[in-house]
Amino acid sequence: MNVTRGFTGRSRARHPGLPPGQYDAGDDWPVLSAEVTPDLAPEEWTFRVDGLVAEERTWTWAEARALPGSVYEGDIHCVTSWSKFGVRFSGVSLDVFLDAVRPDPAATHAVAYAHTGYTTSLPLADLRGGRAWIAFDADGAPLPPEHGGPARLLVPHLYFWKSAKWIAGLRLLDHDEPGFWEQNGYHARGNPWQEQRYSGD
Amino acid sequence: MTDLAPAAERAPAPLATRFAVPGRIAVDAPQAGEWQPATLSAIRRETDRATTFRLAVPGWPGHLPGQHLMLRLTAEDGYTAQRHYSIASAPDDSGHIELTLDHVEGGEVSGWFHTEARPGDRVEVRGPVSGFFAWPGDRPALLIGAGSGVVPLMSMVRHHRARGLDVPLRLLVSARTPEELIYAGEYGPETTPVFTRRAPAGTAVGRLSAAHLAPVLAERPAGGWEAYVCGSNAFAEHASRLLVAAGQPVDRIRVERFG
């Protein structure tokens, strides 16, 4: 153990919801994106699911908003070490979209892509079972553009770079195809509880 | 990067999914690497709020200008705190790296650096990480930063200077006052400072504007500018909108936001 002289740190009363190596950002919700925030109106937004599916589909804003709603209320974790507790997102469960396109049994992974060109790769299993959403609102208000509005992917059990802002679609694949940060040295899965930050973790 | 054309106008994409702005370098697993001991070798005050900490890292694998690292402090009882920081120094600084940290009110890690740290103290670092904001010194670089957002850009300026590179490089750096301008004594003709609250006599006071960008963009270097924007989210939004409005291609703008 390499002790740093004079460092005591904050209170040891650790929030049980805080994964290893993370700190509580409190009321802050830092913005981290490597691109220019797009000027994307809800009427221009679409969400498509294609690749290894029985029936490719594209939803417009109105069509997506008409689907049965679902809420995630819980924590989010950024790979840059901040976590934010008790955020309430509302949107539509990704299961609703995936059930509609009927994934091919050979599909094992997905690339989520944004209207900006951002991509991130995920195991399909992480997008199933009520653990992923297309989110339209956060804490009762429309998602601000800098946080991915009008709609973002939400996969809160993984580091937040997986929750692609300005989500445009999912492509289902039979292999893992690294996305933007995954090609830039970040972990393929990104489970915060196993501290899977960088490839090799 | 795709543009914002309506879905109907977008050609059906093939199964190969390559949408994003590419990283500047390939980053493989060993580069993020293991935690390594680092010894504080010097402390240099930059402004009232910002201080540079020089670290000897014998096992440092090297970095490119613009990359960052993770830094970890460990208390007697094993408690640790870690943060990401941009690297301020140029790559050719054998076995040493420099970080310039703002003193964040109540900051758990920056607070230790600004109130406790002294030469000889030991911390741990891991990195470098991320190839996206890196600049290998190849393309013409238009750097735009505010406050401590200038830190990774300064690594690029220092690299450009140390290597005597011919490729064009320009820095627009915004600070509230001359006293708050980090690295004020190091800038050369490549740099245009912008002061938002108070400026030296003869220099206008005001926010970064299209008028600051116009002469630089008009230079039109061969291959075009690769723009690197770094600062608070508000500044990054402002600067990147100015760039887009002035015609800089959106896929030639790399943004690093300080949370």
Same domain, B114 and B147: no
Residue type, A121: S
Same domain, B66 and B155: no
Same domain, B125 and B202: no
Question: A5 contacts in B (CB within 8 Å)?
Answer: 116, 121-122
Same domain, B51 and B106: yes
With 60 as the cut, is the pLDDT of residue A30 above it?
A: yes
Question: B122 contacts in A (CB within 8 Å)?
Answer: 2-5
- Position B1 in a domain: no
What DSSP designation does B135 have? -
Residues B28, A185: C-beta atoms closer than 8 Å? yes
Nearest to B27 among A25, A80, A185 (CB): A185
Same domain, B165 and B211: yes
User: Alpha-carbon distance B52 to B31, whole Å?
Assistant: 24
- Position B3 in a domain: no
Last residue of a domain, one of B82, B108, B129: B129
Residue B129 has what pLDDT? 85
When pLDDT is averaged across residues A20-30 and rounded to a whole number, the result is 89
Residue B17 has what pLDDT? 36
Residues B112, A201: C-beta atoms closer than 8 Å? no
Residue A63 has what pLDDT? 98
Closest CA to B240 of A79, A163, A31: A31
- Position B18 in a domain: no
Q: Is B162 on the interface with A (CB under 8 A)?
A: no
Residues B7, A48: C-beta atoms closer than 8 Å? yes
Closest CA to B125 of B61, B45, B36, B58: B36
Q: Is A3 on the interface with B (CB under 8 A)?
A: yes
- Position B186 in a domain: yes
Nearest CA in chain A to B112: A7
Question: A122 contacts in B (CB within 8 Å)?
Answer: none
- Between positions 56 and 115 of A, the ones with CB within 8 A of B are 58, 78, 80-82, 111, 113-115
Question: B131 contacts in A (CB within 8 Å)?
Answer: 184-185
Same domain, B254 and B146: yes
Nearest to A80 among B37, B133, B259 (CB): B259
Closest CA to A139 of A39, A72, A92, A64: A72
pLDDT > 90: what percent of chain A?
Answer: 79
Q: Is B11 on the interface with A (CB under 8 A)?
A: no
The CA-atom distances, in angstroms, between B26 and each of A70, A182, B22 are: 39, 10, 9
Q: Is A184 on the interface with B (CB under 8 A)?
A: yes
The CATH number given to whatever domain includes residue B198 is: 3.40.50.80
Domains of chain A: 43-194 (3.90.420.10)
Residues A3, B75: C-beta atoms closer than 8 Å? yes
Q: List, in order, residues 6 or more apart from A98 with CB less than 8 Å away.
A: A49, A127, A128
Side-chain half-sphere exposure of B225, counting CA atoms within 13 A: 28
Residue type, B142: L
Same domain, B204 and B146: yes
With 90 as the cut, is the pLDDT of residue A13 above it?
A: no
pLDDT tens for residues A106-160? 999 999 999 988 999 999 999 999 999 999 999 999 999 999 999 999 999 999 9
Same domain, B204 and B227: yes
Closest-CA distance, A5 to chain B, in angstroms, reads: 6
Side-chain half-sphere exposure of B166, counting CA atoms within 13 A: 1
Same domain, B76 and B176: no
Contact A56, A50 (CB under 8 A): yes
Nearest to A4 among B15, B122, B133 (CB): B122
Residue B29 has what pLDDT? 40
Which helix (H) or strand (E) segment holds residue B229: the answer is: strand B226-232
Helix, strand, or coil (residue B253): strand
> Which two structure tokens, joined as six digits, stand for A172?
């289902």
Last residue of a domain, one of B129, B157, B173: B129
> Which two structure tokens, joined as six digits, stand for A46?
């679409």
Residues B255, A33: C-beta atoms closer than 8 Å? yes
Same domain, B44 and B79: yes
- Position B16 in a domain: no
Closest CA to A163 of A142, A177, A180: A180
Question: B79 contacts in A (CB within 8 Å)?
Answer: 9, 12
User: Alpha-carbon distance A47 to B256, whole Å?
Assistant: 27
Residue B8 has what pLDDT? 37
> Given pLDDT bands bounded at 50, 70 and 90, which one contains residue A92?
very high
Closest-CA distance, A91 to chain B, in angstroms, reads: 21
Same domain, B42 and B81: yes
Same domain, B153 and B184: yes
Nearest CA in chain A to B119: A5
Nearest CA in chain A to B81: A21
- Position B123 in a domain: yes
B22 cis-preceded (ω within 30 degrees of 0): no
User: Alpha-carbon distance A71 to A66, whole Å?
Assistant: 15
Provide the domain count of chain B: 2
Which residues form the domain of B77?
A: 32-129
Cβ contacts below 8 Å, chain A against chain B, sum to 167
Mean pLDDT by 10 residues, chain B (259 residues): 37 38 51 85 97 96 93 95 94 92 90 96 93 91 98 98 97 98 97 97 94 97 96 94 94 87
Residue type, A37: T
> Given pLDDT bands bounded at 50, 70 and 90, which one contains residue A80?
confident
Contact A136, A59 (CB under 8 A): no
With 90 as the cut, is the pLDDT of residue A180 above it?
A: no
User: Alpha-carbon distance A67 to A98, whole Å?
Assistant: 13
Closest-CA distance, B41 to chain A, in angstroms, reads: 14
- A104 φ, ψ to 5°? -65, 140
Contact A192, B33 (CB under 8 A): no
Residues A146, B237: C-beta atoms closer than 8 Å? yes
B11, with CB counted inside 10 A (0-12, 13-18, 19+), is exposed
- Position B27 in a domain: no
Last residue of a domain, one of B104, B129, B154: B129
Residue B247 has what pLDDT? 94
Interface ipTM > 0.90: no
- Position B208 in a domain: yes
